[in-house]
Amino acid sequence: MFALNNEIVSLTSEKLRSKFGEELLSEETIMDMPAYTFKKECIADVLRFLYDDETLKYRFLTDLCGIHYPDNELQFGVIYHLHSMENNQRIRLKVFAALNDINVPTATTVFKGANWMERETFDFYGIVFTGHPNLERILNVADMDYFPMRKEYPLEDGTREDKNDDFFGR
């Protein structure tokens, strides 16, 4: 388990609440990591705020990934994991977007490392990061016309004719 630096966590919550007020939609601590959900428009500002703050110093972007909840109204989520090396504290930020408004501001202005991670999220889920220098597919073939990690698409290659679906429970 990651050790929780309670002082820093409460300071983070306080500062985020005071700076972002309404845009901070929820905060909770799931297992060993504090998680904050924001409105998607302000995420670049949140990352910049947490980077610049002299006490909090969340200056390392550990991970950026997407997630798809088809049953929710805001189906697509982008999850950020930040790490403050000096305080040894990790937090998770989440933003959600609806299918017809699937733009999220880019994090590349704050972290250069978000470049490929956002391309991967775009490749898998179709989430468009506004302001990204080069938003193209990165892992799949360039002319693929759908976003494979969305829940409605199958895993298997459709061209196999030798696998009998009955035996595989499909």
Partner 1 sequence: MLLSRKANKKVKLMTSDNKITIVEAPQGESGTGYFATNLDKAIGLARMNSLWPLPFATSCCGIEFMATMSPHYDLARFGMERLSFSPRQADLLMVMGTIAKKMGPILQEVYVQMAEPRWVIAVGACASSGGIFDTYSVLQGIDRVIPVDVYVPGCPPRPEQIINGIIKIQELVHNESGRRRYSPEYKELLAKYGIE
Partner 2 sequence: MKEKLQNKIDTSDIAGAEVHEFVTLNVGPTHPATHGVFQNVMTMDGEYIVDAKQTIGYIHRAFEKIAERRAYYQILPLTDRLNYCSSPINNMGWHMTVEKLLGIEIPKRVQYMRVIIMELARIADHNVCNSVVGVDTGALTGFTYMFQEREKIYEIFEEICGSRLTTSIGRIGGFERNWGDRAWTKLRAFMKSHPARLKEFEALLTRNRIFLDRTIDVGPISAEQALNYGFTGPNLRAAGVDYDVRVANPYCSYEDFDFIVPVGTHGDTHDRFSVREAEMWESMSIINQAIAKLDAMEDKSTFNADSDEFVLPAKEKVYNNMEALIFHFKQVMGETAVPPGEIYSAVEGANGELGFYVVSDGGRTPYRVHFRRPCFIYYQAYPEMIKGSLLSDAIITMSSMNVIAGELDA
Residues that bind partner 1 (CB under 8 A): 139-141, 148, 153-160, 163
Q: Looking at beta carbons only, is 15 or 137 nearer to partner 2?
A: 137
Q: How many helices (H) and strands (E) does the chain have?
A: 3, 7
Total residues belonging to the chain: 170
Using alpha carbons only, what angle is made at residue 24 by residues 117 and 18, rounded to the nearest 5 degrees?
120
Instruction: Say if residues 106 and 44 touch (Cβ distance below 8 Å).
Output: yes
- Note every long-range contact of 23-32, with CB atoms under 8 Å and residues 24 or more positions apart, other chains counting: 29/4, 30/92, 31/1, 32/1, 32/2, 32/3, 32/4
Asked if 62 interacts with partner 2 (CB under 8 A), we say yes
Asked if 88 interacts with partner 2 (CB under 8 A), we say yes
**Shortest gap between Cβ of 159 and partner 1 (angstroms)?**
7
Asked if 124 interacts with partner 2 (CB under 8 A), we say yes
Applying CB under 8 A, the span of 10-18, 41-49, 60-68, 95-103 interacting with partner 2 comes to 60-68
Instruction: Identify the residue whose tokens are 């200056």.
Output: 59
Backbone angles phi, psi at 111, to 5 degrees: -120, 120
> Residue 163 binds which one of partner 2, partner 1, none, with CB within 5 to 8 A depending on kind?
partner 1
**Shortest gap between Cβ of 51 and partner 1 (angstroms)?**
35
- Residues of this chain that interact with partner 2 (CB under 8 A) are 1-3, 30-31, 33, 35, 59-63, 65, 67, 79, 81, 85, 88, 90, 92, 111-117, 120, 124, 137-141, 148-149, 155
